[in-house]
């Protein structure tokens, strides 16, 4: 490093975890984990697995990059972090056992830990300071011994306690012995089989008992051991191999004996590379996992403890294959073996638990991305820990309900056995019936749990039974009632009222096939349930009553009924329910209060009412959401007057596509909006807000659970009215019932039941992990699965320790400017938006304090179909257009919109030409319960960010732009240029070929800015996107209407090459530099292409013309917009209208106004108005023809020629580019000067400093090289290049005109000092932990005088830089 390298301070790395280990004999055991960062994709990470002690509390040690992290498992808290290596990644961790220390009491001098990475190994002393209660006061890590460097990678380490040695396994199939007392190498023994290894595992506590299992690159497993050389070579049957000592040390003899290798066995059953080997605790058997997706168990013919150095005994050892396991769909990376179970973890992100008979007991799939690297198991407490590419460390307690019922009894300790019951029951009337059924047969139609031991059963002949499940061997049945005329019971709903802890009342509502509603009031205490009241009235005609619903906000005074035509009826039953009469035969006291009729004509499936917001939200069978006004008088005591027909106030078509809306929940807030979340048959949770004053329902966001085919409801577990402790999604996947923990993103329960179409019911307790019941009907019997443990005796383990991140490569990142936070002056966190190969966009928080840790990561959304995200852009400024028609008296053309009027947008682009926009929402300082407490977060990774008070950067989905489904007339640049040269403006490219390749096109880069019209207050987001088909397009998004327009096609002069990076310049200098104030601001686009060319376009005339035309026509007043994103799972995404790029004519020249004509916009408005007049029954047909309308009435898209082209800037592609305004203006003209700094595949960094010419000069297009100092469009002031700035391709670059930072595939971040002329030189550099870095962004904290540099690729890392105030070459120490 250079002298100033220490001024680039490495921060935390967020990447894949490769090593896990519990620390033994600590007061609260620690778990060690490491982050693997291999530069070789073929070499899997190497973990170290150590069983922990039987202490009731646990800690985990984790390593990230070159660091080790210590986690307290019980508290889910990061205890400490330590940097172990400098520029070397941690591959494995091995704690030293302490047989002389009693369990639970740590030694006074600490614990010894061996950490190794690549060719290095260190012995560290970990000291844990604990209080009287076992809590951690402090953790210290000290260097004990530094082992010399090796010539091969270290694959394993094993402490030989009997001999006081440390055995080091190396990738050349050798073992080195290190004396822990003398701090020297004893010897190094090579195996007679010279080959490179993928894996090695050693077992034993002495040299005599040491067994070595090596997994070779030839798909073989070699088993060998060390013996003294004094034995006869003829008896050993092995070749003598001389092994030089490390670093040319003189050979040292142990007990006057040299050691050599003895070959025991060669195993060839695997058909792929051996990635991992694991020994059992007694060394009698071992597991191997391979590239062939199999796991194999091997048994030694005799116990290793009986091994001696007698050659005869060694020759008699046989290795017997015992078991072969297949179940993973990809390579297997890790394994564990005990006396009772086998655990495997694979590239398919699954962790499988197998019995010793080879049967699959349980499969976990809760990680995402490219693989699950590590699994760690503690048999004493049945705690399983997994870690993978997604950076998450997840804890599974195998005694919970998802595992206990299928776990072998001998595996579970007596003090950990929980109650889990699986049994069948039959109703007395239904029992004994078999064979085919008809309409008059007796069978179960409905089930409804009200407690863990109380189940209501409704039958086809109108019977309602109550089953007491307190004693599974003697289920008590009570016949509650039989509805009149033996009509089938179609629907059931129960409202439970608790008078005290012992007495409760159930109000049961029954709807039968004759359209009657029966209300039964039951009371129960310590005696049998008693029917206090029952009454019936006719609500619908025969077979027209399909749903009956209580609403908690209305208590039990009102009830809703639903028919097949989408009509809801509200009934007032207060007078009857609380009357003194025991039974009523007339329905005179039951009054119909109101009718709510859906315009969609589909059956209402769910509803909720908020009296405070005076709103009723209902969801129907076709995925639509409806909002009805619900005045408080409807729920009043005297609401028995004439019925009212209440029209809807708003609707949202296709909220869940064409799938059924299964549940609706309204959360009242103190803001102007009521928060709503819904679930549906499309496997999505959708969030809406209802404006109290505007009376509209607006889509806010969505969370899709890919593991659930349909979500039936959301269960929110509150410890109090204001504190939410957990949220769970209840649903089905295929034929299984699933309870999904939304906070931990983990599957809690999975039960095979045949699917959601069967009658079923569930009940969850205060701790759903340990308290849950599920019942379903199969073969005329009711199958009940109940797991119920006392909640007060169960302490839940945290589910996620380390922050979960993307599971694949990150292609783009951008800082969220702290100026956009709700309280930027109080915030100590930085938020970063990242886009990933798997199509997800995440928002990750970083603590900018001295701790410097990643605190949280949540997913904003996913691109349609999971298309990869290639670039992101955060828009922080809104510019005001200079309106020439206004009397502005020379005001500047660029005025930032401040405070509440400011709009902050996040844009992401990627594969399949998907462009998604999010808008930053102001933070609401209140507890939003479900909407913000559990559903919008991926995991309960850490509460640090939320505890800070500004946890709040909250984005709302705004719009998604996609190519239309129909054939478009979109042009490639090559066709456009050819037609231009031939003078043919109407020729079209081969549409058939383009349609065939349509799905292969992807967006590569995006840049955008916001512009506000001063008179209409209309805000337009102008986004320029570069596509892989070598086109660059200017698009406009009208806010808040979400209308998209294609404005212009940016055509390069040179041969068409795909653009890899885009940036923009908004130049306000021309507005005040001359006498003509009408010149206004200028909008310049800068691009870098795959051929090494940098091009500039001037879009000023195009943008001004578009803003003028939109202000005159105002299409947003009549044209509908897209309301909801598509999910790729059957959801239609609401109504989708935007302008396509299709055009039948292309205007020539860059001087023409590049915007849609007024006739085009008016035609679209007329079409939109007519569509609103069509009935809802024809709305699907209207939506189908929207793309056709968009194509036939599309706006003419004109070409924009470049204002400047720099050829040959780089010898190959321009991978990264950044533009900044220089601090000093041009000395001759006084105009602002700008610098373009770029990096490419040629490893070079280039810098060009220039000033923009007048708008009149920019009309003449010039092609320039770097040797052209000036032309009509701009003036080049200086240029500078560093040919070999990095050792490989430059992938990220940033500058503010004073300092510049670059990153390359050489895993270096280099800091460059720039002078006013643009010349720069390297100031310092640092080695980062991110393999294959692809993107870089920098935030300059001017208040603290720091630069925060974020770099991402396979993971993400933060680096801090603090220059001196005088910007000299010497910088302050951090």
Per-residue pLDDT reduced to its tens digit, 510-569: 999 999 999 999 887 666 788 888 899 999 999 999 999 999 999 889 999 999 999 999
- The tens digit of pLDDT for each residue in 853-905 reads 888 888 888 887 778 999 999 998 888 887 554 433 333 334 333 344 678 99
Which whole number is the average pLDDT over 920-945? 46
Q: How many C-beta atoms surround the C-beta of residue 500 within 10 A?
A: 7
Mean pLDDT of the chain: 77
Nearest Cα residue to 598 out of 627, 638, 560, 570: 627
Q: Distance between CA atoms of 1004 and 1274, rounded to whole angstroms? A: 27
247: left (phi over 0), alpha (psi -120 to 50) or beta: left
Tokens representing residue 384 in the block: 């399983």
Which whole number is the average pLDDT over 193-211? 90
Q: Which residue has the higher pLDDT, 1275 or 233?
A: 1275
Going from the C-alpha of 1204 to that of each of 113, 1104, 1160, the distances in angstroms are 61, 21, 32
Which whole number is the average pLDDT over 813-842? 84
Please report which confidence band the pLDDT of residue 1063 belongs to, taking 50, 70 and 90 as the band edges.
Answer: very high
At residue 1186, what are phi and psi to the nearest 5 degrees? -65, -40
Q: Which residue has the higher pLDDT, 275 or 1042?
A: 275
Query: Is the whole model's pTM more than 0.95, yes or no?
Result: no
Q: Distance between CA atoms of 187 and 857, rounded to whole angstroms? A: 48
Please say whether the beta carbons of 112 and 99 come within 8 A. Answer: no
Please say whether the beta carbons of 614 and 631 come within 8 A. Answer: yes
Please report which confidence band the pLDDT of residue 83 belongs to, taking 50, 70 and 90 as the band edges.
Answer: confident
Angle, helix 1100-1113 to helix 1158-1173, in steps of 10 degrees: 40
Q: Distance between CA atoms of 466 and 1259, rounded to whole angstroms? A: 85
Q: Looking at the predicted structure, is the pLDDT value of residue 1111 above 50? A: yes
State the burial class of residue 47 (Cβ atoms within 10 Å of its Cβ: 0-12, 13-18, 19+).
Answer: buried
Tokens representing residue 787 in the block: 């797991």
Q: Looking at the predicted structure, is the pLDDT value of residue 1371 above 90? A: no
Adjacency order of strands within the sheet including 341-346 = 332-337, 341-346, 351-355, 360-364
Q: Looking at the predicted structure, is the pLDDT value of residue 642 above 90? A: no
Which whole number is the average pLDDT over 274-300? 93
Tokens representing residue 828 in the block: 């100590």
Nearest Cα residue to 329 out of 359, 390, 287, 371: 371
Going from the C-alpha of 570 to that of each of 430, 557, 573, the distances in angstroms are 34, 10, 10
Q: Distance between CA atoms of 1331 and 1311, rounded to whole angstroms? A: 19
Q: What is the dihedral of CA 646, 652, 656, 662, to 10 degrees?
A: -20
Burial 139-165 (b: 16+ CB within 10 A, else e): bebeebeebeebebbbbbbbbbbebeb
Looking at residue 247, its pLDDT comes to 39
Q: Residue 603: CB partners within 8 Å, gap ≥ 6?
A: 546, 547, 562, 563, 564, 565, 566, 620, 621
Q: Which residue has the higher pLDDT, 1075 or 399?
A: 399
Tokens representing residue 186 in the block: 């004893």
DSSP structure class, residue 672: S
Q: Looking up tokens 């209407």, which residue turns up?
A: 1041
Looking at residue 502, its pLDDT comes to 63
Q: Distance between CA atoms of 1175 and 179, rounded to whole angstroms? A: 87
Looking at residue 564, its pLDDT comes to 95
Q: Looking at the predicted structure, is the pLDDT value of residue 344 above 90? A: yes
Q: Distance between CA atoms of 612 and 452, rounded to whole angstroms? A: 33
Q: Looking at the predicted structure, is the pLDDT value of residue 653 above 80? A: yes
Looking at residue 943, its pLDDT comes to 40
Q: Looking at the predicted structure, is the pLDDT value of residue 404 above 70? A: no
Q: Looking at the predicted structure, is the pLDDT value of residue 299 above 60? A: yes
State the burial class of residue 523 (Cβ atoms within 10 Å of its Cβ: 0-12, 13-18, 19+).
Answer: middle
Which whole number is the average pLDDT over 1194-1203? 78
Looking at residue 275, its pLDDT comes to 93
- The tens digit of pLDDT for each residue in 1122-1153 reads 677 766 454 444 333 333 333 333 333 333 33
DSSP structure class, residue 660: P
DSSP line for 868-901 = PEEEEEEE--EEEP--TTS--TT--S--PPPGGG
Please report which confidence band the pLDDT of residue 930 belongs to, taking 50, 70 and 90 as the band edges.
Answer: very low
Which whole number is the average pLDDT over 340-348? 93
> Which three-class secondary structure state does DSSP give residue 977?
helix
Looking at residue 1258, its pLDDT comes to 46
Q: Which residue has the higher pLDDT, 1023 or 722?
A: 1023
Looking at residue 121, its pLDDT comes to 93
470-478 long-range Cβ contacts below 8 angstroms, 24+ apart: 472/421, 472/423, 472/784, 475/425, 477/427, 477/428, 478/528, 478/529
Which whole number is the average pLDDT over 1165-1178? 37
Q: Distance between CA atoms of 128 and 1084, rounded to whole angstroms? A: 59
Tokens representing residue 597 in the block: 């009729």
Q: Name 788's bridge partners.
A: 771
Q: Distance between CA atoms of 205 and 207, rounded to whole angstroms? A: 7
Nearest Cα residue to 443 out of 752, 785, 759, 774: 759
Q: Looking at the predicted structure, is the pLDDT value of residue 165 above 50? A: yes
Q: Residue 779: CB partners within 8 Å, gap ≥ 6?
A: none
Looking at residue 65, its pLDDT comes to 64
Q: Looking at the predicted structure, is the pLDDT value of residue 217 above 90? A: no
Looking at residue 525, its pLDDT comes to 66
Q: Looking at the predicted structure, is the pLDDT value of residue 288 above 90? A: yes
Q: Looking at the predicted structure, is the pLDDT value of residue 581 above 90? A: no
Burial 699-708 (b: 16+ CB within 10 A, else e): bbbbbbbebb
Looking at residue 1091, its pLDDT comes to 92
Using a pLDDT cut of 90, give the percent of the chain over it. Answer: 35
Looking at residue 1126, its pLDDT comes to 67
Q: Distance between CA atoms of 374 and 321, rounded to whole angstroms? A: 24
Task: Specify the pairing of strand 684-691 against strand 673-680.
Answer: antiparallel
Q: Distance between CA atoms of 1244 and 1293, rounded to whole angstroms? A: 11
Q: Distance between CA atoms of 1286 and 1300, rounded to whole angstroms? A: 14
Q: What HEC string does 1025-1039 produce?
A: EEECCCCEEEEEEEE
Task: Count how many Cα atoms sit within 13 Å of the Cα of residue 1308 in the half-sphere of its side chain.
Answer: 18
Q: Which residue has the higher pLDDT, 583 or 375?
A: 375
Q: Which residue has the higher pLDDT, 1313 or 26?
A: 1313
Going from the C-alpha of 297 to that of each of 95, 210, 287, 966, 1210, the distances in angstroms are 26, 19, 5, 56, 55
DSSP structure class, residue 5: G
């Amino acid at each position: 490093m250079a002298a100033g390298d220490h001024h680039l301070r490495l921060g935390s790395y967020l990447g894949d975890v490769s090593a896990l280990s519990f620390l033994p004999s600590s007061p609260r055991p620690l778990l060690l984990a490491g982050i693997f960062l291999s530069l070789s994709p073929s070499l899997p990470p190497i973990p170290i697995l150590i069983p922990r002690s039987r202490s009731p509390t646990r800690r985990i040690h984790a390593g990230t990059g070159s660091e080790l992290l210590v986690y307290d498992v019980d508290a889910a808290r990061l205890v400490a972090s330590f940097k172990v290596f400098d520029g070397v990644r941690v591959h494995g961790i091995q704690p030293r056992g302490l047989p002389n220390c009693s369990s639970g009491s740590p030694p006074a001098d600490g614990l010894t830990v061996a950490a190794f990475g690549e060719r290095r190994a260190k012995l560290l002393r970990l000291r844990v300071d604990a209080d009287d209660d076992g809590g951690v006061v402090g953790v210290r890590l000290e260097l004990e011994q530094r082992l010399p460097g090796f010539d091969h990678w270290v694959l394993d380490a094993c402490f030989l306690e009997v001999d006081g040695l440390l055995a080091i396994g190396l990738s050349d199939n050798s073992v080195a012995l290190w004396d822990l007392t003398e701090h020297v190498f004893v010897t190094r023994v090579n195996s007679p089989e010279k080959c490179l290894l993928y894996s090695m595992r050693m077992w034993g506590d002495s040299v005599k008992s040491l067994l070595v299992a090596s997994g070779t690159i030839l798909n073989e497993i070699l088993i060998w051991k060390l013996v003294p050389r004094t034995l006869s070579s003829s008896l050993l049957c092995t070749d003598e191999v001389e092994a030089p000592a490390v670093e040319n040390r003189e050979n040292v003899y142990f007990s006057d004996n040299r050691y050599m290798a003895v070959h025991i066995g060669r195993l060839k059953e695997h058909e792929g590379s051996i990635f991992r080997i694991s020994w059992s605790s007694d060394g009698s058997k071992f597991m191997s996992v391979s590239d062939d997706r199999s796991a194999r168990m091997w048994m030694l013919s005799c116990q290793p403890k009986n091994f001696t150095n007698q050659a005869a005994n060694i020759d008699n050892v046989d290795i017997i294959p015992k078991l072969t396991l297949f179940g993973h769909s990809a390579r297997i990376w890790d394994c564990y073996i005990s006396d009772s179970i086998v655990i495997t973890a694979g590239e398919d992100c699954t962790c499988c638990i197998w019995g010793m008979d080879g049967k699959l007991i349980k499969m976990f799939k809760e990680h995402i991305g490219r693989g699950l690297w590590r699994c760690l198991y503690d048999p004493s407490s049945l705690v399983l820990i997994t870690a993978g590419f997604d950076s998450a460390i997840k804890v599974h307690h195998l005694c919970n309900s998802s595992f206990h019922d299928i776990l072998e009894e001998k595996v579970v300790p007596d003090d950990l056995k929980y109650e889990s019951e699986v049994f069948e029951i039959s109703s007395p009337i239904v029992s004994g019936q078999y064979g085919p059924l008809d309409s008059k047969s007796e069978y179960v139609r409905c089930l409804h749990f009200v407690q863990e031991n109380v189940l209501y059963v409704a039958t086809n002949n109108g019977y309602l039974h109550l089953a007491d499940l307190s004693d599974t061997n003697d289920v008590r049945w009570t016949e509650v009632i039989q509805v009149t005329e033996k009509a089938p019971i179609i629907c059931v709903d129960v409202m439970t009222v608790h008078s005290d802890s012992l007495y409760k009342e159930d109000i049961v509502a029954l709807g039968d096939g004759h359209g009657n509603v029966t209300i039964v009031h039951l009371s129960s205490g310590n005696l049998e349930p008693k029917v206090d009241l029952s009454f019936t009235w006719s609500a619908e005609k025969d077979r027209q009553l399909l749903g009956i619903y209580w609403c908690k906000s209305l208590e039990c005074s009102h009830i809703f009924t639903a028919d097949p035509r989408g009509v809801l009826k509200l009934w007032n039953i207060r007078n009857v329910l609380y009357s003194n009469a025991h039974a009523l035969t007339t329905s005179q006291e039951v009054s119909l209060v109101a009718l709510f009729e859906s315009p969609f004509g589909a059956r209402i499936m769910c509803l909720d009412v908020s009296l405070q917001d005076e709103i009723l939200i209902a969801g129907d069978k076709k995925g639509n959401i409806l909002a009805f006004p619900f005045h408080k008088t409807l729920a009043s005591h005297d609401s028995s007057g004439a019925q009212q027909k209440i029209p809807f106030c708003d609707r949202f078509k296709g909220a869940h596509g064409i799938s059924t809306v299964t549940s609706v929940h309204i959360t009242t807030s103190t803001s102007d909006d009521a928060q709503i979340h819904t679930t549906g048959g499309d496997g999505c949770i959708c969030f809406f807000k209802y404006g109290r004053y505007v009376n509209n329902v607006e889509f806010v966001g969505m969370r899709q659970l890919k593991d659930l085919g349909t979500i039936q409801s959301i269960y929110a577990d509150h410890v109090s009215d204001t504190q939410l402790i957990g949220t769970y999604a209840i649903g089905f996947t295929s034929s299984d019932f699933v309870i999904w923990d939304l906070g931990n993103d983990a599957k809690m329960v999975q039960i095979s039941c045949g699917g959601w179409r069967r009658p079923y019911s569930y009940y969850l307790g205060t701790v759903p992990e340990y308290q849950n019941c599920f019942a379903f009907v199969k073969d005329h019997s009711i199958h009940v699965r109940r797991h119920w443990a006392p909640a007060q005796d169960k302490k839940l383990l945290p589910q996620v320790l380390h922050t979960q991140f993307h599971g694949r490569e990150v292609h783009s990142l951008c800082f969220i400017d702290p100026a956009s936070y709700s309280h930027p002056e109080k915030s100590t966190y930085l938020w970063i938006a990242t886009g990933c190969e798997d199509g997800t966009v995440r928002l990750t928080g970083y603590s900018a304090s001295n701790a410097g840790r990643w605190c949280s990561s949540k997913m904003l959304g996913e691109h349609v179909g999971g298309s990869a995200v290639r670039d992101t852009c955060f828009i922080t400024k809104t510019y005001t257009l200079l309106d020439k028609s206004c009397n502005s008296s020379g005001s500047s053309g660029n005025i930032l919109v401040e405070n509440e009027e400011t709009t902050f947008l996040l844009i992401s682009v990627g594969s399949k030409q998907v462009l998604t926009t999010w808008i930053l929402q102001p933070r609401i300082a209140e507890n939003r319960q479900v909407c913000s407490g559990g559903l919008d977060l991926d995991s309960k990774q850490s509460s640090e960010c939320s505890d800070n008070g500004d946890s709040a950067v909250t984005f709302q989905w705004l719009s998604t732009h996609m190519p239309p489904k129909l054939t478009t007339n979109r042009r490639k640049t090559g066709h456009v240029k050819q037609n231009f040269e031939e003078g043919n403006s109407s020729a079209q490219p081969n549409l058939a070929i383009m349609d065939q390749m349509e799905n292969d096109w992807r967006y590569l880069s995006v840049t955008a800015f916001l512009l506000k019209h001063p008179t209409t207050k209309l805000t337009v987001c102008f986004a320029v996107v570069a596509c892989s088909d070598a086109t660059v397009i200017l698009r406009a998004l009208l806010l808040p209407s979400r209308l998209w327009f294609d404005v212009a096609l940016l055509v390069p002069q040179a041969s068409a090459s795909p653009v890899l990076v885009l940036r923009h310049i908004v130049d306000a200098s021309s507005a005040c530099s001359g006498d003509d104030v009408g010149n206004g601001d200028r909008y310049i686009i800068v691009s870098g292409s795959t051929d090494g060319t940098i091009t500039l376009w001037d879009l000023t005339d195009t943008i001004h013309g578009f803003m003028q035309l939109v202000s005159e026509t105002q299409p947003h007043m009549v044209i509908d917009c897209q309301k909801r994103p598509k999910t790729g799972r059957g959801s239609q995404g609401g109504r989708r209208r935007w302008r396509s790029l299709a055009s039948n004519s292309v205007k020539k020249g860059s001087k023409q106004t590049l915007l849609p004509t007024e006739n085009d916009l008016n035609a679209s408005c007329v079409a939109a108005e007519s569509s609103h007049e069509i009935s809802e029954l024809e709305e699907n047909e209207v939506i189908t023809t929207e793309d056709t309308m968009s194509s036939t009435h599309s706006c003419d898209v004109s070409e924009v020629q470049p204002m400047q082209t720099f050829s040959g800037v780089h010898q190959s592609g321009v991978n990264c580019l950044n533009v900044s305004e220089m601090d000093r203006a041009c000395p001759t003209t006084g105009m602002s000067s700008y610098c373009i700094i770029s990096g490419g595949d040629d490893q070079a960094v280039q810098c060009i400093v220039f000033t923009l010419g007048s708008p009149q000069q920019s009309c003449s297009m010039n092609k320039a090289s770097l040797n052209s100092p000036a032309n009509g469009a701009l003036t080049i002031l200086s240029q500078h290049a560093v040919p070999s700035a990095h050792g490989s391709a430059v992938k990220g670059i940033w500058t503010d005109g004073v300092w510049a930072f670059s990153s390359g595939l050489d895993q270096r971040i280099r800091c460059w000092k720039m002078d006013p002329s643009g010349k720069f030189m390297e100031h310092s550099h640092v080695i980062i932990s991110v393999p294959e870095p692809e993107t870089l962004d920098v935030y300059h904290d001017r208040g603290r005088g720091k630069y925060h540099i974020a770099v991402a690729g396979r993971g993400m890392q933060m680096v801090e830089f603090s220059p001196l105030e005088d910007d000299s070459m010497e910088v302050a120490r951090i």
